């Protein structure tokens, strides 16, 4: 799997650093999964988070959403590992981008 980033250069959404796409391999070769985003929370402890693809819908005028990527079996499955992988890849992407702009 390859993770590619589209930087939020226009900064139209505060805190949003980039969109992320997962380029799949194996039996899913040639497909990509979109809808991920890397965010930075501002304040005393600047932390980063990843949001996952979700679909919004409306019920009685109330907006709701459900996650498109879910654990196979109950709460034991988790997206934490994927979140960490995306954050690590973004940190590397940041370093590469900075070295290209300086070099």
Phi-psi region of 18 (alpha: psi -120 to 50; beta: other; left: phi over 0): beta
Structure confidence at residue 54 (pLDDT): 93
pTM of the complete model beyond 0.85 = no
Structure confidence at residue 101 (pLDDT): 67
Structure confidence at residue 78 (pLDDT): 75
Structure confidence at residue 71 (pLDDT): 79
Structure confidence at residue 99 (pLDDT): 79
Structure confidence at residue 89 (pLDDT): 97
What tokens does 73 get?
Answer: 């079996």
Low-confidence spans in the chain with pLDDT less than 70: 74-77, 101-103
């Amino acid at each position: 799997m390859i993770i590619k980033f589209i930087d939020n250069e226009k900064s139209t959404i505060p805190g949003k650093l980039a969109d992320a796409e997962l380029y799949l391999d194996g039996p899913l070769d040639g497909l990509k999964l979109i809808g991920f985003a890397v965010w930075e929370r501002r304040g005393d402890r600047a932390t980063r988070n990843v949001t996952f693809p979700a679909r919004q819908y409306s019920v009685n005028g109330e907006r709701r959403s459900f996650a498109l990527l879910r654990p196979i079996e109950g709460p034991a499955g988790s997206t934490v590992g994927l979140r960490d992988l995306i954050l690590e890849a973004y940190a590397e992407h940041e370093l590469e981008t900075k070295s290209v702009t300086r070099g």
